[in-house]
Amino acid sequence: MPASFSCMTENTERSDPRAPDARPGPAAVCGVMVTYAPDPAGLADALRGAVASLDALVVVDNSADPIGRQRVAEAVRSAGPARAGAAIGLISGQGNVGLARALNLGLARAQQDGFGLFLLLDHDSVVDRAACEALLAARGELAPSGPTVALAAQNVDAAPTGLQARLEEILYGYSTGARRAPRRCALAMTSGMFLSAAALRAAGPFDESLFLDAVDHEFCLRSFRRGVPLFVVPRAQIRHALGRPQPAHWGPFRVTLREADPQRLYFSTRDTLRVAIRYLAVRPCVGGTMIAFVASRSVVYALFARQERGWFHAILNGWVDFLRAAPTPRRAV
């Protein structure tokens, strides 16, 4: 049975006693979930799905305020143990250190406790009960004793527009209908990514110079460059809503946009462009598509999101700081 996780709250670490034979087996999977000011109901759903599907779970809470940290801690206590009886680990009190840093903290804790397989999750992602079994089966088929692979679950939440659905099919390899076999893909979302310790050693940790968006895409492109292939497994499914659809209009024209806060749009613009340029020579089609997506989204938000001026200003500032190679925001977003 997997060991109980230690718990770090308010930058104080406390170790739980562990029996000498309580090491996880070779097929034991530990989830790493990053939280930031989550909706309590959504977090409860995500935790229920995780503990029913995983052998263990470590939650890294990026909440910066005491009330937010308390809510996450209460939700973790209420969720109970994971599938194999291991307590849910909690890393909290470090403030909002960004997605990449939080993932690296959680993965380090999971490896410290002896796990070699990891499923990454966001606080608003609900994993299907059979997802881990599907991912383990795909890993056994694709790399029984040979090259290291990275896998990804398929997000079954529908994209708000047909164009975005088509982009997900092309870049993420999503498939519908009878196409259920693992499929080679270029990119994957962090939430639903299934990694082994060997894949992490080959690809390296998540890039902590990226704060929020493009963390997953940078890892996928770097993995490709270092010889770690990526496959999406349609039979492994998660539900992960990428922003609430919001209708917008410009004169007689109407579109559906994904609602996002200005800070998210800023980082998505700046860091997606940074990653696309960094790997443009490695995967020209992927990098070019990422640049084209950011450019077209910028135009659409400029035309259709006049009622949300903060969105356009955030995107504009993201472009400016990308062109200036600014490592951190130099203006309000």
Whether residues 226 and 249 share a domain: the answer is: no
Q: Residue 15's pLDDT is what?
A: 35
Max mean pLDDT range (102-116, 165-179, 228-242)? 102-116
Stretch 276-303: mean pLDDT: 91
Residue 5 has pLDDT above 50, yes or no: no
Whether residues 225 and 297 share a domain: the answer is: no
Q: For tokens 């006049």, name the residue.
A: 306
Q: Residue 274 belongs to what domain range?
A: 245-323
- The verdict on residue 329 lying in a domain is no
Mean pLDDT of the chain: 85
Q: Residue 33's pLDDT is what?
A: 97
Q: 240, 272, 300: which is the final residue of a domain?
A: 240
Q: Residue 58's pLDDT is what?
A: 97
Max mean pLDDT range (85-89, 162-166, 253-257)? 85-89
Q: 216, 240, 264: which is the final residue of a domain?
A: 240
- Cβ atoms of 37 and 121 within 8 Å: the answer is no
Whether residues 48 and 168 share a domain: the answer is: yes
Q: Residue 82's pLDDT is what?
A: 81
pLDDT digits (tens, 9 = 90+) for 9-56: 444 333 343 333 456 888 899 999 999 989 999 999 999 999 999 999
DSSP assignment of 43-109 equals: HHHHHHHHHHH-SEEEEEE---SHHHHHHHHHHHHHH---TTSPPPEEE-SS----HHHHHHHHHHH
pLDDT digits (tens, 9 = 90+) for 161-219: 777 788 889 999 998 766 689 999 999 999 999 999 999 999 999 999 998 889 999 99
Residue 103 has pLDDT above 50, yes or no: yes
Whether residues 260 and 165 share a domain: the answer is: no
Q: Residue 12's pLDDT is what?
A: 34
With pLDDT > 70 as the criterion, what percentage of the chain qualifies?
A: 81
Q: Residue 92's pLDDT is what?
A: 95
Stretch 273-290: mean pLDDT: 96
Residue 91 has pLDDT above 50, yes or no: yes
- The verdict on residue 17 lying in a domain is yes
3-state secondary structure of 270: helix
Which residues sit opposite 59 in a β-bridge? 33, 90
With pLDDT > 90 as the criterion, what percentage of the chain qualifies?
A: 61
155 Cβ neighbours under 8 A, 6+ residues apart: 168, 172, 174, 189, 191, 192, 237, 238, 239, 240, 242
Q: Are strands 253-258 and 245-250 parallel, antiparallel or unpaired?
A: antiparallel
Whether residues 226 and 251 share a domain: the answer is: no
Give the number of domains in the chain: 2
Q: Residue 66's pLDDT is what?
A: 92
Whether residues 201 and 291 share a domain: the answer is: no
**pTM score, whole prediction:** 0.88
- Cβ atoms of 184 and 283 within 8 Å: the answer is no
Q: Residue 307's pLDDT is what?
A: 53
- Cβ atoms of 79 and 49 within 8 Å: the answer is no
